[in-house]
Structure 1
Amino acid sequence: MYLELQKQLAGHLRSVLQSKYSIEIENVPVEIPPDLKFGELATPIALQLARTLRKAPKVIAQEIVEALGTLPGFAGFEVAGAGYINARLDRTAGVRAVVDGDGHSLDMQDHVLVEHTSINPNKAAHIGHLRNAILGDTFVRLLRAAGNQVDVQNYIDNTGVQVADVVVGFLHLEGKSLAEVRRLLEELKTSGERVDYYCWDLYARTSQWYEQGSAEENAERKKFRYATLHEIEQGGNETAEVADLISTAVLRRHLETMLRLDIEYDFLPRESEILHLKFWDVAFEQLKQTGVLYFETEGKNKGCWVMRRPGAEIAEGELDEDAKVIVRSNGTVTYVGKDIAYHLWKFGLLGRDFGYKKFFKYPDHECWISTEHGEAEHPHFGGATAIYNVIDSRQSDPQANVIQALRGMGHTAQADHYTHFSYEMVALTPRCAVDLGYTVSDEDLSRPYIEVSGRKGFGVKADDLIDKLIAATREEVEKRQTSREEAERQKIAEQVAIGALRYFMLKFTRNSVIAFDFKDALSFEGETGPYAQYAAVRIRNIFRKGGTTPKAELARLAEIDELESYLSGEENEDIWALWLRAGRRSLVLDQAIGASEPAYLAKHVFQLAQEFNNFYHKHHILTEEDPAKKTFLLATAAVALRELMMVLGWLGIETPEAM
C-alpha cells in the first residue's frame, strides 16, 4: 500500500509542478514522517524550490496544496512548519488496500545471479560462513519476491592453498597413500563420522606443523605446500586425485549443513574447471586486445602483466608501482585474473562454457556442478544481466579490480550491474566462547568479542552451533509443550533455533561486526527471531480460541461499511499504526533490494511484531461485545499474521504452530 501511495503522490506532485511552475522534477521526495501527528506521508519539495521560485517555502507549499485538489486514497493535504506539506490518508481506504494485499512494482532484471557461501572445501563450515550463506540466501528470497529470475551459485575453490594444506596433511603429516585416503573416507562414511570435522582438525594440525620445527625444517615443510598446490592445479596425478576426493566429500557435507538452514544452490562452479577448460586463456587474450593489461618492463613488477587500479592517475611516462599484478613474472595467474575470467563467463562474455553434471538432489530441483565433459542436456547458468557477489569486506580490493577490468574492456553496462555484497566478520562474545567450552583468558573476558580462527583451531563449527541452539531451544519447548508428540516438539525446537540464528545474522547491517551470543539470539524478548515468531503464534492462538480463521474474518470485514470510528481518535492510533506498518511490506522490500540490505526487513518484522503486541495488550479482542468491532479487531490480527508470516518467510524463518 505505502509504496503505491508514495508513487501516486509523487506523480501527482510532478504534474502540479509542471502545470503551475513549468518545472520538471524527476524524483519528487516523499517521506514517511517520524510521528503520525505529521500525517502518513510528507514532502519537503517547497523548501527545495524556494531559491528557484524566489518565494518563501511556506507560500510555495500553500500554492501546491491548493493545486493538489483531491487524490484517491488521501483525505487531504496541509502546510506544516517552515514549508513541509503533510499528506493524510483516507484511513478506511487504507485498510481496504492493505486487506487486498501489498503488491510490488519494482524494476525487474531479466536474469540475476547471486553467488554466496563459497567455502573452501577443506574443512567444516564455521560460524562466519553462516553469515555469508544466510545473507546471500535471504537476498535471493527478496529478489525472487520482487519477481526476478535468480540463479544461485556457490563458487568452489578446490585447487587453492587451503585444500593443498589438507592434502599435505593426509600425504605428508599422516603419510597416507591415495588408496588409504579413499579407504578412510569409506570408513568415516560407514561409521557416521564427519569428513569435514576430520579435515578441520587435520587442517589445524598441518598449519601448526609448518611452524613447529626449526627454520630449516619449516622451510622444507612449506615446500610440500607449493609442490602440492602445483600438482593440484596441473591435474592428472595422484595428488590431484586426493584433492578431488577430499574436496568433493567436504563439499557434500557443506551442502548438507546449509540445507539445515533451508539454503539451496543451483550451480557449483569449480576453479578446477576454470583452469582446465582454459577460461583464463580466453580472458587473457581479451584483456590484452582491449588494453586493460600491459606488460611491465621495469620496476618491482618487471616481467608481470598488470592493470591500473580503480582511480589511479599516473602521469605520462611515470611508472605505476601500485598497478595490480594479474600474471606474475613466473607465468602463474593471480586470484583476480581467474576471477575476471569467471565474471566474463557470468555475464556471457567469455565465449566458452563449463560442462555440467548433477551433483546434489533437493526436494524440488537438482544442484549441478561443473565438470570438463558433462551431460548433453543441462540448464544454462551464465549470461546474467545483474550479479551480486556475497563476499566479506576484506575482498573489496579484488572485487573493485574485476569491475575495473570489465569497464576497461568496454563492458560498462555489466560493470554497472555488478554488486559486491560485502559484510563484516562474525566473532563470539566471551560468554558464548565459555558456553562452547573454550578456555578464555581474563583479558579476553573483558573484550566485547573474541575473533575466531579455523587455522588456529579456535572456531565454531556451523553444525555444532546449530545443534547447540536446537538443544537449548528443546529444553524450553519441553517445559511449555508437554502435551505434544516428540516429533512435534523437535520440529518446534528446530524452527525456533533456526529462526533465532537466521534473524541474529540478519538484524545487523552488513557493515557491522557481529558478536554472536546464544542467550541474546534465543531470547523471547527484544529484537530476536523468537520474539517475532511468538507474535505469530500468539495470533494463531487468538483464532484457535475464537473458533474462527483469519480468512473468514477478513471476508466479514469487507461487509462492514463504516470503519472510520475504529480508526480515528487518540485511543485508536495504535490500531491505525499497526495497519500502516502492515502496509509497508513492498516499500521496505524495495528499500532492502535497492540498498542490498536485508536488515531493513528484519527491522520491519520486529516493529510489526512489537506493534501487534502493543495492540494485543491494549484491546480485548475475543471479549469485545460489539460484533462489528470484534470483526475489525480480528481482521487487524489476521493482517498482522499474514504480514509476519510473509516477511519472516522472506528471511527464511518459519512460524511454528506453538512455542
Structure 2
Amino acid sequence: MLSLWRRDLAQGLSAAIRSAFGVEHDPVAEIPPRRALGDLAFPAPLHLARELRRRPREIAEELARTWRPPAGVREVRVEGAGYLNVYFDRPAFAARLLAEPLLGADPGVAGKVVVEHTNINPNKAAHIGHLRNAVLGDTLVRCLRALGLPVEVQNYIDDTGVQVADVVVGFVDIERRTVAEVAALPEPFDHHCWDLYSRVGAWYEEDPSRQGLRRETLHELEAGHGERAEMGRLVARRVLARHLGTMARLGVGYDLLTHESDILALDFFHLAFEKLQAAGAVRLEAEGKNAGCWVMPLADTPEFAGLEDPDKVIVRSDGTITYVGKDIAYQLWKFGLLGKDFGYRWWPEQGLWQTAVEGAHEHPGFGGAERVVNVIDARQSYLQKIVRAGLSALGHQDAARRSTHFAYEMVTLSAATARLLGFAAEDGRALEMSGRKGIGVKADDLLDRLEEKAREEIAARNRELEREELRRLARQIATAALRFFMVKTTTTRVLAFDFDEALSFEGDSGPYLQYSLVRARNIGRRLAGAGLEAEVRPEAAAALAPELWSDDLWELVHAVARTGEVVEKAASTLELSLVARHALDLAQAFHALYHHHPVLHEEDPALRRTRLATFQVFARGLRTTADLLGIPEPERM
C-alpha cells in the first residue's frame, strides 16, 4: 500500500513544483529513520537548489505552503536542510490497512510469466536439494501472482535422460525384471529406484564396457520404441507420481507437466535445429575432439569470450541430442517462437495438465510467455547462458533478455543433522550429497522426521490433543519449518540444513512465525471470553484519536504498509529472503510490543481499541507474508 501512496504523493508534489517554479522534476520519497520524523520524506528541494539557484530550505518552505497533498495526509513539515516530511493521518491510514489489500496489481503489468521449477529427474526419490528448488520456485510464483501478474507454472520432466536410462538398465540388466514385474513393485517405488540407481553406478565402475547398455537404452528412450522405452515410461510415470505427492505435502503445485519425450516425439528440437542451421548458429565439426558433432561456436560472444573451450556441443556424434539442444527448443516454445505446439492431456489422478503427442481438443492455452524464469541451481549457469545465446543467434534478442535464470546454491546437511540421519560428517563439516553414490536424504524421509519431531514438541506442550489434530498440527509446523528454512538464506550461499534450527519455536524459523500468528489471534479470543470488543472495524479505527498511536505502535503499522514494496523488490531481484526477513521483522516487532502495550487489561476503551487495531494490522501483514512463503496458519501451537 505504501508504494501507492509514494506514487500519488510524488505525482502531486511534481505538479506543485511545476506550478510554483515552472520546472519538471520527478520527486523520490524516502522513509525517515524514525516515525517522529514522519512517514515519508521528499528531498526534492535539495535536488532543485542548483537548478533554481535558491536555498533548499527556502524552496521547501514555499512548497509546504502551496502543495495540497491528498486526503489521508495530516501534515507536511520542513525538516533539516530542506526535506519535505509527510505525516499521515494515522487513524485513516490504519483503517485502510484493515480494509484494503496489502498487495495490489500494477496497472502497467501485461503478459504472462512462465516459471519453470522443480524439474526432478524421474528416476528416484526427490532429495532435500530438490526441495530448495521447488520452494523457491513456488514462493516466487506466489509473489508474482500476489502482485497481479498472470503466471503459468511448468515442471519439466526429463523422462528420456541418462538418469532414467540408468534405472532402466538396473531393472532390465541387473535385476532382470520385466515391465509387468516392475509395475507390480510396491510403494514407495521411488525409494527402490533410489537404491537401484546407486547400484548401477557401482556396476558400471566394475566394468566400464557396460555403459554401452546405457547408450543403447538412451537411443530407445529417445526413439520411444522397444522394451527399454516402455520400461522408461513406466519408471518415469511412477516416480513422477511420487514426486508430485512429495511436493503436495509442501503446498507446491503446477499448471503443466512438460515431458522431454514429447519434445523429441514432436520433433521440436529438429525444428529448432533447422532454425539454428539457417541462421548459421551451428556448424558440423570435421576434426578434433568434437569431430562429427554439431556445435554452437560461442568464442565471439562476450559472455563466453576467453573460455578455453567456448564451443558447445548441440548434437553428439552418435546423433543424440544434448540437454542444451532440447532446452533451446523448449525455451523457444515457451515464448511462442517455435511455430509448433504440444498436444495436451489431463492426468485425472493428479489433477494436472501434461504435454502429449496427441491430446484433448479443448485445453487451456500454454506457453506464449512475455517473460520466462527458469529456476535451476547455480551449477547450470553456463548452460542457461547458452540457451540465451541460442535465442539471440536466431534474432530473438528481446526474448533472450526476458529469459531469466533464477540461480541458487545447493543444500548440504549440517554436521549434527548428518549424524542424526546416520551419515558420517568429517571434522564437523556439512555433508554434501550425491544421488549417484546414494548419499543424501530423501525428501519424504526428511518431512517424516520433521513431522515426528514437531509431534514430540506439540505433545509435550498440549497433552490433551486428539491424535488427528496432533498429526495435522505436526504437518503444518513441519511445512513451515522446511519452507522457511529454504527461503530465509540468500540464494548465493550454500544452505546447510539443520533440524533443530528449522524447528525452533524462537528466532529465525517458520514455527516462530506461526506462533506469532496464533498469539495475535488469541488476543481477540481472550477479549471475547471477557465480554469485550474482540475486533476493531475499519470505520471504528478511523474514528480513533491520532495521539493514541504512540510512535512504537505506529512503527509496526508502518512496517506492515511496506509489505508490498518488499514483495515487489523480492520478485524483481529474485531475492526471496527479503520476504522471509520482513516476516521475521514484523513478528519480532509484535512480540516486543505485546507486553508493553497490553490489550485485555487496558482499562481505557479507546486505547485498548487502538492497540487491538494495531495488532490486527500486524496479523494481516504477517498472514500475507506467511501465505507468500507457503506457511500454513495453525489453530494453536
TM-score w.r.t. length of structure 2? 0.92
Counterpart in 1 of 2:321? 333
Which whole-Å CA distance do the structure 2 matches of 1:327 and 1:61 have between them?
66
Conserved 8 A contact 1:117-1:133: yes
User: In the alignment, what sits opposite 1:490?
Assistant: 471
Distance 1:271 1:389 in 2: 16
Q: Which residue of 2 aligns with 1:370?
A: 355
Quick one: which amino acid aligns to residue 199 of structure 1?
C
Matched residue SS, 1:554 = coil
Q: Are 2:244 and 1:255 aligned?
A: yes
Could you tell me how far 1:294 is from its partner in structure 2? Answer: 4.3
Alpha-carbon deviations, 1:375-426, whole Å to 9, x = none? 3332221212221111111111211222222233232332332221111111
Q: Structure 1 pair 194/70, CA: closer, same or farther in 2 (3 Å)?
A: closer
Query: Which of the residues 449, 452, 460 maps onto 1:471?
Result: 452
In structure 2, what is the Cα distance between the partners aligned to 1:187 and 1:87?
68
Where in structure 2 are the equivalents of 1:217-236 lying within 5 Å?
Answer: 217-218=207-208, 220-236=209-225
Would the aligned equivalents of 2:170 and 2:196 in 1 still touch at CA under 8 Å?
yes
CA-CA distance at 1:292 after TM superposition = 3.3
Q: Which residue of 2 aligns with 1:6?
A: 6
Q: Deviations over 1:210-240 (max 9, x none)?
A: 22x3xxx32x122222222222222211111
Residues 319 and 581 (structure 1), Cα distance of their counterparts in 2 relative to 1, 3 Å cut: closer
Mapping for residues 513-552 of structure 1, pairs under 5 Å: 513-547=494-528
Confirm or deny: 8 A CA contact 1:540 1:657 kept in the other structure: no
1:75 aligns with 2:56: no
Q: Is 2:262 aligned against 1:284?
A: no
Contact in 2 for aligned 1:477/1:493 (Cα 8 Å): yes
User: Structure 2 vs 1, CA of residues 203 and 8 (structure 1 numbering), >3 Å: closer, same or farther?
Assistant: same
Is 1:555–2:537 an aligned residue pair? yes
Following TM superposition, by how much is the alpha carbon of 1:68 offset from its aligned partner in structure 2, in angstroms?
3.8
Summarize the Cα distance change of 1:511–1:59 in structure 2 as closer, same or farther, 3 Å threshold: farther
Shift of 1:519: 0.5
* 1:204 partnered with 2:204: no
Counterpart check, 1:134 vs 2:135: yes
**Pair 61,265 (structure 1): closer, same or farther in 2 beyond 3 Å:** same
* Residue identity in the other structure for 1:575: L
SS at match of 2:354: strand
Q: Percent identity?
A: 47
SS at match of 2:344: strand
Distance in 2 between residues matched to 1:550 and 1:197, nearest whole Å: 55
Alpha-carbon shift at residue 298 of structure 1 (Å): 6.6
CA contact (8 A) 1:550 1:635 kept: no
Decide whether aligned partners of structure 1 residues 494 and 388 sit closer, same or farther in structure 2, where only a CA change above 3 A counts.
same
**1:84–1:225: structure 2 CA closer, same or farther, 3 Å change rule?**
farther
1:194 equivalent among 188, 191, 201? 188
Alignment of 1:105-504 (within 5 A): 105-106=105-106, 107-174=108-175, 176-179=176-179, 182-188=180-186, 193-211=187-205, 213=206, 217-218=207-208, 220-295=209-284, 301=290, 303-309=292-298, 312=301, 322-361=310-349, 366-441=351-426, 443=427, 445=428, 447=429, 449-504=430-485
Q: Which runs of 5+ in 1 are unaligned?
A: none
CA distance in 2, matches of 1:597, 1:8: 27
Instruction: Name the aligned partner's letter for residue 351 of structure 1.
Output: G
* Unpaired segments ≥5 residues, structure 2: none
CA contact (8 A) 2:105 2:149 kept: no
1:476 and 1:346, CA in 2 relative to 1: closer, same or farther beyond 3 A?
A: same
**d(CA) in 2 for partners of 1:637, 1:79:** 31
What displacement does 1:313 show?
A: 5.5
CA RMSD of aligned residues (A): 2.7
Classify 1:183/1:294 alpha carbon distance in 2 versus 1 (closer, same or farther; 3 Å).
Answer: closer
Q: CA deviation at 1:291?
A: 3.7
CA contact (8 A) 2:541 2:610 kept: no
What secondary structure, in the 3-state scheme, does the structure 1 residue paired with 2:157 have? coil
Q: Is the 8 A contact 1:300 1:321 kept in 2?
A: no
Question: Which letter maps to 1:607?
Answer: D
In the alignment, which of 552, 566, 573 is matched to residue 548 of structure 2?
Answer: 566
Distance 1:242 1:551 in 2: 65
Q: CA deviation at 1:274?
A: 0.7
Q: Which amino acid aligns with 2:11?
A: G
| Residues 59/230 of structure 1: CA separation in 2 closer, same or farther (3 Å cut) | farther
Distance 1:59 1:433, change over 3 A: farther
Deviation at 1:44, TM superposition (A): 4.2
Residues 513, 35 of structure 1: CA spacing in aligned structure 2 closer, same or farther, 3 A cutoff?
A: farther
Q: Displacement of 1:370 after TM fit?
A: 2.0
Q: 1:580 to 1:178 in 2, by over 3 A?
A: same
- What CA distance in whole angstroms lies between the structure 2 residues aligned with 1:140 and 1:450? 30
Quick one: distance in 2 between partners of 1:551 and 1:308? 72
Please give the TM-score of this superposition, normalised by the length of structure 1: 0.89
User: Could you tell which deviates more after superposition, 129-138 or 43-52?
Assistant: 43-52
Shift of 1:551: 9.9
Distance 1:7 1:453 in 2: 50
| Separation in structure 2 between the aligned mates of residue 81 and residue 328 of structure 1, nearest angstrom | 68
2:347 maps to a residue whose letter is F
Deviation at 1:89, TM superposition (A): 2.5
CA separation in 1, counterparts of 2:459 and 2:298?
A: 58
Give the SS at the match of 1:287. Answer: helix
Q: 1:122 deviation in Å?
A: 0.6
Distance 1:391 1:170 in 2: 29
CA pair 55-598 structure 1, distance change in 2 beyond 3 A: same
**8 Å CA contact 1:301, 1:321 repeated in 2:** no
* TM-aligned CA distance change 1:45 to 1:232, over 3 Å: same
Q: Give the aligned residue type for 2:378.
A: S
The amino acid across from 2:323 in the alignment is Y
Partner secondary structure for residue 458 of structure 1? coil
Deviation at 1:31, TM superposition (A): 2.5
Say if 1:299 and 1:319, in contact at 8 Å, map to a contact too: no
Other structure's SS at 1:357 match: strand
- Inter-partner Cα distance in structure 1 for 2:400 and 2:594: 49
C-alpha displacement at 1:21, in angstroms? 5.2
Judged with a 3 Å threshold, the aligned counterparts in structure 2 of structure 1 residues 267 and 148 are, in CA distance, closer, same or farther, namely same
Amino acid across the alignment from 1:4: L
Compare 527-536 and 352-361 and name the one that shifted more: 352-361
The one-letter code sitting in structure 2 at the alignment partner of 1:323 is D
Pair 1:375–1:45, CA change in 2 (3 A): same
Other-structure match for 2:89: 90
- CA apart distance, 1:600: 1.6
Query: Quick check: 372-381 or 247-256, which moved more?
Result: 372-381
**Mean CA deviation greater in 350-359 or 529-538:** 350-359
* Other structure's SS at 2:536 match: helix
Amino acid at match of 1:356: Y
Paired AA for residue 612 in structure 1: F
Q: For the Cα contact (< 8 Å) 1:153–1:265, is it kept in 2?
A: yes
Partners of 1:40 and 1:591 lie apart in 2 by 20
